[in-house]
Amino acid sequence: MLTLGIEEEYLLLDPATGLPAARAAQVRRAAGLQPALEHGEVQRELLQAQLEVATPVCRDLEEAGGHLLRMRLALGEAARQEGCRLAACAAAPFNDRLPVPVTDTVRYRTMHTDTRLLTDEQLITGMHVHLGIPDRAAGVTVMNGLRPWLPLLIALAANSPLWQNTDTGFASWRTLVFGRWPVSGPPPVFDDAGDYDRLTTLLVESGLIRDLGQVYWHIRLSEHFPTVEIRAMDVQLRADEAVMLAGLVRALATRTLADADAERGIPPIEQEVLSAAVWHSARYGCTGTVFDPLSGRLTNPDDAVARLLDHTGPMTDSGVDRHVVPVLHRLLREGNGAARQLRRLRSAGRDGLVEMLIDQTTGV
């Protein structure tokens, strides 16, 4: 079974107004005093109203879920001590007239100089799943195999319908915002690891991007660890939804590697078709039709998920049965984070939405 790790990015919000709170440095210091948090688990992010956590390498989903709950609760307490709250919504729903300051590092200051408004508007947060791989060749196989499933994963994970005090009409506005970077969205199909390294090196050596850290594809190979990183999904309101998505990703990757060994698999999807399907998922989430990579057509979410589970079925274990299937079915019944945010805003107003974001983030 492939090892996995989960990274989550969070926003810091003012509990009274729901506005982004630029208190990341203070919260990070307070987090260092939390006994439940290990050194280095809380990381800085681009803007001073964002923080990131990363689980250790995990072998099963229960272990990953335990770490996420531990870190969310401890970091949430650190935020409370500093007068703000932790929120796992993938875009800041409300904003002030002044931008949130950039985090004071050389890298982030340079990004702000290069792309001022784009950086200012990067008040978005995602979740990243790292899968341990034996080598980069296997990583490219996983990248190619997961490409067709990106639209469905984005639809299930959509959790950013609100932006700058407005209902955007999109389920995942974060997907649109992140798609403005020069190397982003679905990756191309690669022949092998050498092909991947050739293209990414060319992007840097040509001066089009500053370094390999600015390869923002939805899936990429890590340059620091023996992992492939899936970064297409919005951060999740509930920790168990993050675990569910990580379990789906790992099951799909495991099936991909098994299919490669047997010289079978899903045919590649044309880049323009895949990009359009990602846009469709960002627009509608799970409220309309979703793209089914097995048929290459739009279908209803229940049927697409049933086909996904059937596809990964031979690769499932008891962890998937406990941590993926029930949560996935609950999401289809109750709606993803985007649907629940809008429903709460309409029923309870701005204050009710902020309360929900805070409560569901820390599992209250």
Spatial CB neighbours of 57, under 8 Å, sequence gap ≥ 6: 3, 4, 5, 132
Cα dihedral 80, 85, 88, 93, rounded to 10, equals 180
- Burial 24-37, CB ≥16 within 10 A → b, else e: bebbbebbeebeeb
Under-70 pLDDT residues of the chain: 262-263, 314-319, 364
* DSSP label of 211: S
What pLDDT shows up at residue 312?
A: 92
What pLDDT shows up at residue 126?
A: 98
What pLDDT shows up at residue 266?
A: 85
Q: What would the two tokens of residue 4 be? A: 């996995």
The CB density around residue 136, as the number of other CB atoms within 10 Å, is: 17
Task: Give the global pTM.
Answer: 0.97
Pairing state between β 216-217 and 184-185: parallel
Q: Which domain holds residue 239?
A: 4-361
39: burial class by Cβ within 10 Å (0-12, 13-18, 19+)? exposed
CATH number at residue 75: 3.30.590.20
Contact, 244 vs 232, CB < 8 A?
Answer: no
Tally of domains within the chain: 1
Residue 245: name the closest of 310, 336, 353 by CA: 336
Residue 83 corresponds to which amino acid?
G
What pLDDT shows up at residue 319?
A: 66
3-state helix, strand and coil shares in percent for the chain, rounded to the nearest 5: 50, 15, 35
What pLDDT shows up at residue 261?
A: 78
269: left (phi over 0), alpha (psi -120 to 50) or beta: beta
